Amino acid sequence: KQKNKKMCQDCVLEVSPDREKTCLDSGAYLINFRDCFACKTRETPKILNREYEETDEGDETVEYDHCCAKCLHVIAHHSYTFEIQNGSIQIYSMDCDLCGNGEDRVDVLAFKKEGLDEIDEMNVLVTSNIQNEMHNLTAAFSSSMSSNVFLKIVEEEQKKNESNENDDEWN
């Protein structure tokens, strides 16, 4: 589909910012929203004229307009696509004057073959580190609690002894 030319570059702080790998199929990048040029309102824009299309191959296209919540002025047209190439490469893209431009590619098979083992190793390492830290914290807490309990007992004994000494002085 052709990008809808209806948009207002005066409503955004930066026209089509580079969002690198960020690709939104819904919502809005509100940090980039200045205000509605037509009515000067700075309410969260409405999403209108949303169209969703999916092909038999699993490719998706989402398009909608960001519009002023008060006067319905068109702030920007948003276009998001998702497609699968060669059965394993997922390509995401976003084109919008408000939300910016972004594209990401993920090779699912390469990730499964190479990345899964690395992820499993990292999970084991992280889990092991967390368990070690928990053990250290528990030991430190127990030690601290034991020390506190011991100190309380010593304090109470000292108070008893002081009290007994005071009682002996009066007798």
Q: Write down the pLDDT at residue 16.
A: 94
Task: Find where tokens 């006067």 sit.
Answer: 71
Task: Find where tokens 């250290």 sit.
Answer: 136
One-letter amino acid for residue 169 of the chain: E
Residue 90: phi and psi, rounded to 5, are -100, 125
Q: Which residues contact 78 (CB under 8 A, 6 or more apart)?
A: 24, 28, 47, 62, 63, 64, 65, 66, 94, 95, 96, 98, 99
Question: Cα–Cα distance between 20 and 101 in angstroms, integer?
Answer: 7
Q: Which residues contact 161 (CB under 8 A, 6 or more apart)?
A: none
Q: How far is CA 30 from CA 8, 11, 46, 99, 155, in A?
A: 15, 11, 11, 8, 60
Q: Write down the pLDDT at residue 156.
A: 72
pLDDT per 10-residue tile (average), the chain, 171 residues:
59 94 93 95 96 93 97 96 91 96 89 57 50 48 51 68 62 54
Task: Note whether 16 and 97 are within 8 A (CB).
Answer: yes
Q: Write down the pLDDT at residue 4.
A: 43
Q: Which pTM does this prediction carry?
A: 0.62
Q: Write down the pLDDT at residue 12.
A: 95
Q: Write down the pLDDT at residue 8.
A: 79
Q: Write down the pLDDT at residue 168.
A: 57
